[in-house]
Amino acid sequence: MKRLLFLLLALSAGCAEIPMLKDFEVNQSHVRLILIDKDRISAFCETIMDRPGDHLDGCARWSADRTSCEIYVTAPESVNDLARMATIGHEVWHCFRGRFHP
Cα angle 15-18-23, degrees, rounded to a multiple of 5:
105
- 72 lies in a domain? yes
Q: What percent of the chain has pLDDT over 90?
A: 49
- 65 lies in a domain? yes
- 92 lies in a domain? yes
- 79 lies in a domain? yes
pTM value > 0.75: no
- 4 lies in a domain? no
Q: How many residues does the chain have?
A: 102
Domain count, the chain: 1
Mean pLDDT of 60-84: 93
Domain that holds residue 71: 29-102
- 23 lies in a domain? no
- 11 lies in a domain? no
**How far is the C-alpha of 9 from the C-alpha of 88, rounded, in Å?**
13
Q: Which tens digit of pLDDT belongs to each residue from 26-54?
A: 555 689 999 999 999 999 999 999 988 88
Q: Where are the beta strands (DSSP E) in the chain?
A: 30-35, 58-62, 68-73
- 18 lies in a domain? no
Three-state secondary structure call for residue 7: helix
